[in-house]
Amino acid sequence: MHEFTLWAPAATRVMLHLPGLDRREPMRLVADPALGQEPTPDTDGWWHVSVAEAGHGTDYAFALDGGDLRPDPRSPWQPEGVHGPSRVFDASLHPWSDGSWSGVDARGAVFYELHIGTFTPEGTLDAAIARLGHLVELGVQMVELLPVAEFSGVRGWGYDGVDLYAVHHSYGGPEALQRFVDAAHAAGLGVCLDAVYNHLGPDGNYLREFGPYFTDAHTTPWGEAVNLDDDGSTGVRSWILDNATRWFRDFHIDCLRLDAVHALVDSSPRHILAELSDAVDDLSASLGRPLGLIAESDLNDPFMVEGTAEGGRGMTGQWDDDVHHALHAFFTGETQGYYVDFGTASVLARVLKEGFRHAGDYSTFRGKHWGKPISADRHRGHQFVVATQNHDQVGNRATGDRPSSTVSSGRLAGSAALMLTSVYTPMLFMGEEWGALTPWQFFTAFESPELADAVRKGRRAEFGSHGWAPEEVPDPQAVSTRDASVLDWSEIDRVDGELDHAALLRWYRDLIALRRSSPDLLDDSFDAVSVTHGETWVAMRHGSFTTVVNIGPSAVTVDVPAGSVARLTWGSFEVADQLLLQPDSVVVLQA
């Protein structure tokens, strides 16, 4: 027996098709005005029918008012892709082995961002399970999966998903995600899932046929906004809220990373993020384990992590791109585009201490004043997630090149040291820990030739305006573009030029071990941090630890706390009353 339900408020007739059973069943309104039943916000527009013969594995689709067959907007399984029928998935069938799992607090945990399709050559969740041992040895605590929702084609980043309740068929489907989370928990790792609610992909997006999922009252970089505050938004909001809580409940996910929340335009009395935060808090209390919400926000506004009772959004944490920009620009020398206000040691020192470069001051790239300051009295460092690399900052470069392909190993080590001994919550991007040289490029496999060609031309035009020749920009649709982005695990045992991958991996492991074992480094009070700098060097003191990096062409002398001893070193140094640090070197001292 399975109860099929569907929200289709404008439909006058809905037919359920069951191709495997060779049956069609008319659906009925949950609250039918024709029968004198008064609809409520929870029942308005909902259709249902029970089918005794249906259950786990049954394929189905809906036809509205005699139209074409469409998959379920809440489809849990799309084995034939975005245009095929949905399939019933009974989440309760998985034999969970994580009954003793007490969860992991996202705040202060070491995150590791990975893309299932390129983490291994196979590109599946089951293949990724075989690599969990590497992450345990590395010392990370939270594995962050890029979006797994069903998108068009067999390969892609996942940010153009259209069936947000389904797990992509090429990754192994929903059962594979349950196996992955169960295995991660057995290994002592939490799992964070990237969820995209601010827009949907263009191919296979049939939501407009079902209801007012979008509104032209607001616009976003992707066009029409998801309808959070216009007519019919009650059903759309429940579609998002139910989706988020389902990942926690049915898949035992520990944290959600919410994509580009600044594009969730909502003028309702209660913002969707605040509503989601309160719902997740309630679920966390019910499940007896911590559940996290990490927001990607471009606003540079700490109200994102302030409590809902205080008028904030209630997020557990938020991404802080300013720290990435300051690290990247300082160590690579790139100051074009949105790096224009970054690149100096003074800016790096500021963000290591204060979090934001733009905290109400002028942003040259945006052409306006931007952001609000973080308060040491009201906010904590672990509420801000920082990175030296992530999928956006690598993949949205023309050729997807990583810093390891252009800067010295000493600079890679210095950037990692500042991130991992900082007051923030650190996040690594897959392969960063050994200085992976494989690029991570933008790739798609859209089934529509017209859409594929439009994306290809748009990508080349975008980077052509920055001086790249069309042939230099990888074709997103080419299989070779995805294949070039797959991690080469054999690099770990190689030396490429001056880059010793194994040595860098040991450096990351040692830094993470030091962070996790040192109470001073886990103190997330901004008052615990002070930073000094010269033109080519930065010294960050965090409790009893001092991390010093020098990227200049000459050795520098830096004042350090009396009695300091070296805990970790990369390059050459001497320490007495002062520290003498050679070029492209880094040292972590403890007083």
CA 271 – CA 164 distance, rounded (Å): 21
CA 44 – CA 30 distance, rounded (Å): 8
Q: Strands, E, within 52-210: which ranges?
A: 59-64, 69-70, 86-87, 111-114, 142-145, 149-151, 161-167, 190-195
Alpha-carbon dihedral sign for residues 102, 106, 110, 113: positive
Q: What is the 3-state secondary structure (H, E, C) of 280-315?
A: HHHHHHHHCCCCEEEECCCCCCHHHHCCHHHCCCCC
Q: Cβ(198)–Cβ(266) under 8 Å? A: no
Q: Cβ(60)–Cβ(86) under 8 Å? A: yes
Q: What single-letter amino acid sits at 97?
A: S
Q: Cβ(581)–Cβ(550) under 8 Å? A: yes
Per DSSP, the residues of 78-106 read -TT-TTS-EE---GGGS----TT-----S
Per DSSP, the residues of 536-551 read SEEEEEETTEEEEEE-
The runs of H, that is alpha helices, within 188-232 are 207-210
Q: Cα–chain-centroid distance for residue 91?
A: 24
Cα 57 to Cα 48, 52, 78, 153, 271, distances in angstroms: 19, 14, 11, 22, 37
> Angle, to 10 degrees, between the axis of helix 345-354 and the axis of helix 321-332?
150
Per DSSP, the residues of 168-181 read -GGGTHHHHHHHHH
Q: What is the CA radius of gyration of the chain?
A: 25
Q: Cα–chain-centroid distance for residue 276?
A: 17
Write out the H or E segment, with its range, that includes residue 320: none
Question: Which residues have C-beta within 8 Å of that of residue 397, sequence separation ≥ 6?
Answer: none
Q: Enumerate the active-site residues.
A: 259, 296
Q: Cα–chain-centroid distance for residue 480?
A: 24
Alpha-carbon dihedral sign for residues 359, 365, 369, 370: negative
Q: Tokens at residue 344, please?
A: 């100096």
